[in-house]
């Protein structure tokens, strides 16, 4: 793939594309599922629970946090992570609006 020319697209489409790119990795989806299954923030060893190396989990957590999908707070000498519910609601709404606009309502033969 070449360079993405973000400046020619609306900011909302760039934001959705960036977040979907982050969610396009199965390990990140597994991490999100694991965090969502907990009752609040988690500080446990995700690498043990997910089955990935600690460095790999840390990298994925950083990407998810940078994208604003999860939040992290320091608790002693560990960081606790939870899903940013507002960011996820916004992404869900943006995605449903985008996909809904793609439906032509007609059965086409391609």
Residue 87, domain extent: 6-91
Token pair of 34 as six digits = 């694991």
Examine residue 25 and state whether it is found in any structural domain, yes or no.
yes
Examine residue 110 and state whether it is found in any structural domain, yes or no.
no
Q: What is the CATH number of the domain that holds 13?
A: 1.10.10.10
Residues 17 and 82: their CA atoms lie apart, in Å, by: 22
Examine residue 105 and state whether it is found in any structural domain, yes or no.
no
The pLDDT of residue 110? 63
pLDDT tens per residue, range 38-61:
877 776 678 888 888 888 998 999
Residues 73 and 101: their CA atoms lie apart, in Å, by: 37
What's the angle, vertex CA 46, arms to CA 41 and CA 52, rounded to 5?
155
Give the number of other CB atoms < 10 A from CB of residue 90: 15
Closest to 22 measured CA to CA, from 101, 88, 93, 96: 88
3-class secondary-structure state, position 5: coil
The pLDDT of residue 102? 77
Note whether 74 and 41 are within 8 A (CB): no
Residues 57 and 62: their CA atoms lie apart, in Å, by: 9
Domain count of the fold of the chain: 1
What average pLDDT score do residues 73-89 get? 85
Residues 85 and 68: their CA atoms lie apart, in Å, by: 10
């Amino acid at each position: 793939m070449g360079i993405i020319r973000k400046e020619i697209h609306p900011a909302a489409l760039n934001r959705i594309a960036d977040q979907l790119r982050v969610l396009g990795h199965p390990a990140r989806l597994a991490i999100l599922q694991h965090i969502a299954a907990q009752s609040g923030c988690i500080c446990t060893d995700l690498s043990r629970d997910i089955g990935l190396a600690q460095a790999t989990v840390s990298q994925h957590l950083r990407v998810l946090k940078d994208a604003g999908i999860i939040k992290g707070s320091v608790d002693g000498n560990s960081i606790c992570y939870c899903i940013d519910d507002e960011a996820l609601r916004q992404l869900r709404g943006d995605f449903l609006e985008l996909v809904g606009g793609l439906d032509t309502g007609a059965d086409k033969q391609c």
